[in-house]
Amino acid sequence: MIADLAGAFERAAIGSLGAQDELVKSMGDAVLVVCVGPAEALAFLGALFDRFGGGDSDLPLLRAGAHHGSAVRRGDDYFGSGVNVAARVADLAAGCQILATDAVAQAARRSGVGVVELGPYVLRNVSEPVALFEIDCGHDVRGHTIDPVCHMRVPRERATGTLRHDGAEYWFCSLDGVGRFATHPARYTA
């Protein structure tokens, strides 16, 4: 099932590419895409979220990081500070969230897409704090939660089980997850 899901995600990414966009590599549940500029990156992300990121399925919630900066192409891959910053920004994104740096946020504002300034963040292996912005991905996932064990999206009304721990409610997609959480809740709530 996971391999099928990774394949579906890669096909969705390929189908979302603009004319000059390039899928550099697919890493199972992640892709590295290079676009000509911030507006093209936003178009790619919009198409990808429309194809794969809505809150109306049991698929994992997409998350994305976008940065406009320099990179060097070596063979079939890209390297450099631009790639490093984009990866760090993506690492901070939550499910159904697009985080971006300033140039991408400015392009989003120019195109009428909602942008929320989050402030400066210290990113690993980046010398100065980087201002981050949340870009409206156009999808509402209210009524869904993330299973704390397997990290899959769970519509609350279809959850297999729920547990209350330290005043918080947790929803699960399988009884195995309920059991694992009940045995070691600190492992999944840290």
pLDDT at 144: 65
Coil, strand or helix at 72: strand
Q: Are residues 113 and 30 in the same domain?
A: yes
Domain count of the fold of the chain: 2
Sequence-separated (6 or more) residues with CB below 8 Å from residue 3:
none
Instruction: Give Cα 126 distance to the centre of its chain.
Output: 20
Domain finish residue from 91, 114, 135: 135
Q: Give the three-state DSSP class for 10.
A: helix
pTM of the entire structure?
Answer: 0.74
**pLDDT at residue 33 in the model:** 96
Do residues 123 and 152 both lie within one domain? no
Res 99: pLDDT: 92
Can you give the pLDDT at residue 2? 78
On whether both 121 and 167 belong to a single domain, the answer is no
Domain that holds residue 71: 2-135
Instruction: Please tell me whether residues 93 and 40 are part of one structural domain.
Output: yes
CA distances in angstroms from 15 to 21, 65, 161, listed in the order given? 11, 19, 36
What string of pLDDT tens digits covers the 190 residues of the chain? 778 888 888 999 999 999 999 999 999 889 999 999 999 999 999 999 888 755 555 566 788 999 999 999 999 999 999 999 999 999 988 777 889 999 999 999 999 998 989 889 899 989 999 999 989 877 665 556 778 888 777 777 788 999 988 877 888 989 999 999 999 998 887 6
Alpha-carbon distance of 114 to 84, in angstroms, equals: 25
52 and 114: one domain?
yes
State how far the Cα of 157 lies from the Cα of 56, in Å rounded to an integer: 13
Instruction: Tell me what pLDDT residue 28 has.
Output: 82
- Say which CATH number the domain at 97 has: 3.30.70.1230
First to last CA, the chain: 28
Q: Report the pLDDT value the prediction gives residue 51, as an integer from 0 to 100.
A: 84
Q: Quote the tokens at residue 49.
A: 């979220």
